[in-house]
Chain A
Amino acid sequence: MKIFVVVCLALVMALSMSITASAQTSSGNDAARLAKLEQAVADAKSSGDNAWMLMSSALVLMMTGPGLALFYGGLVRKKNVLSTMMQSFAMMAIVTVLWALVSYSLAFAPGNRFIGGFSNVFLRGVGAQPDADYAGTIPLQTFMVYQLMFAIITPALITGAFAERMKFSAMAAFMVLWSLLVYSPMAHMVWGKGGLLNAPLGGRFPCLDFAGGTVVHVTSGVSALVCAIYLGPRIGYPKQNMPPHSVVLSFIGACLLWVGWFGFNAGSALSAGALATSAFVATHFGAAAATLGWSAAEWWHRGKPSALGAISGAVAGLVAITPAAGFVSPISAMVIGVVAGVFCFLMVTKIKSMFHYDDSLDAFGVHGAGGTLGALLTGIFASSVVNPIFKNAQGATLASGLIEGNAHQMLNQLLGVVIAWALAVAGTIIILKLVDITIGLRVSEHHEVQGLDVSQHGEEGYYWEPAA
């Protein structure tokens, strides 16, 4: 960034000197030269922003594959490792194609308050020209592909709830419908032009959600809970031992998620300036504090801090800081993180066993619970110093969160959470019913015992041939 500013300054000085030198001879050209200079400066800023946004897009894709695929793959039994990884990988293909055809348009094209229109189907009109409402310095195509990576990971998160028992075909059909009926409307409401909850573009109820606490984590987490209850537990749950087959894989996956999350949150600044830095810092500090929060709770409760606990805590913190990053200070981020770490630990270890649902990989306990908590805490800790999001008619900055005196923001946050919950519950039940009566959701008992790798894909994750 520093080098970039220096280059710009040098450019300005060089050009202005040459302008002065030739002032006597060509005063009529000044206006043209100035316009050219302004264009050069804008182009330079656009290059910087675009470089970061392309980088961020790649980082967010890396969160799904291999990040989430490894994280979830390690947590299942070894007969289901490939099918679990494949569910995440399939999202990278299915959601991408769907995004180009229609779901980008339903999320981000102008429409009503609840869903976008059809003006961008087949990515019509999505090219090099920036859209000032979304991100004025990067090509709209960059914005589109960046948002796609969010649309990919969100349904992939749900797969943790029905791990080890859902048909691959049913999963694919479910995810197509879910992307259209749940993800696109929610993304439109929070981030789309004219969306009901859109804070930066003046929506009716501005809900602060910097990088997808409601859009990504509440929707996926709550849908995961509905899936877990609807499909029922795995055969043998909870009597039979079903420990993770490789916490090592999960560990690598969680580390990749942490790194990828910088693209997720800092990239949500949609530019490469100080706001991106602020979100990056909040993300990192939140994750660290949550790791300590979960580990401390576990150490206290069980007598030992486990590796699985530490990485689960990190993910819980990353989830909770997602809506808040870009609005909160590093210290607030750590408070949010530590609360999320302890809260999600209790959700996963205590609450789940009280209600007997088999959310196999804790998609709800971490993403649903952590996302809801993060969205509400954002309303408390949001700071206008970090991000002056609300302005009055004269352009003066208004208070952001509860601590600054904007108590009303808590209501907007709550409304965002309630809408996300309602949409996720209703949409998921309808889609599950549809897929259940057409394809059928669960594999046969025989196939479940055999494992989904063999029964759904005809292969095994670990195949050791005896030495010949």
Chain B
Amino acid sequence: MTKVEAIIQVSKLDGVKDALHEVGVEGMTVFEARGHGRQKGHTEFYRGREYTVDLIPKVKLEIVVADDMVEKVVQAITSAARTGKIGDGKIFLSRIDEAIRIRNDERGEGVL
């Protein structure tokens, strides 16, 4: 099993969600997040005082999928979330040892 963590633009969430449903992802967890990568923030002025807003609102998705799904999922996210400009976000993949359904103690990929 693989955990796919994707940090994307807030405005792209709906498109990414639809794309994931299309490739057969059934569950996901979404976080409202703030952060920055190479994208620098923007400046705001309040009565002449300049504030740099470098932590920008983002959305972070977490999905755990069977290994044979990973490439399809990554493709779905990149194609739906890409604008081609800096600030589009990142995807991180990591191994998952086990998944357990709380309702009935079921284990393994069937849980996903």
Contacts and interface: CB of A to CB of B under 8 A. Distances in A.
B51 A353 contact: no
A238 B47 contact: no
B73 to A, nearest CB: 30
A302 B52 CA distance: 14
B65 to A, nearest CB: 29
A312 B46 CA distance: 11
A352 B25 CA distance: 56
Contacts of A241: 51-52
A353 B47 contact: no
Contacts of B47: 308-309, 312, 348-349, 362
A466 interface: no
A236 interface: no
**Majority-rule SS of A interface residues:** helix
Interface string B62-101: 0000000000000000000000000000000000000000
B48 A350 contact: yes
Interface string B24-58: 00000000000000000000111111011000000
A448 B52 CA distance: 23
Nearest to B53: A241
Interface of A: 238, 241, 243-244, 302, 304, 306, 308-309, 312, 345, 348-350, 352-353, 362
A304 B44 CA distance: 10
A349 B48 contact: yes
A309 B48 CA distance: 9
Contacts of B45: 302, 304, 306
Given A238-B49, A244-B46, A302-B45, 16 more contacts: A241-B51, A241-B52, A243-B44, A243-B46, A243-B49, A304-B45, A306-B45, A308-B47, A309-B47, A312-B47, A345-B48, A348-B47, A350-B48, A352-B48, A353-B49, A362-B47
Contacts of B44: 243
Nearest to B47: A348
A352 B48 CA distance: 10
10 contacts: A306-B46, A308-B46, A308-B47, A312-B47, A348-B47, A349-B47, A352-B48, A353-B48, A353-B49, A362-B47
Contacts of B49: 238, 243, 353
A16 to B, nearest CB: 63
A306 B48 CA distance: 10
Nearest to A294: B47
Contacts of A304: 45
A116 B46 CA distance: 42
A241 B55 CA distance: 12
A350 B50 CA distance: 12
Contacts of A349: 47-48
A309 B46 CA distance: 8
A302 B49 CA distance: 11
Contacts of A362: 47
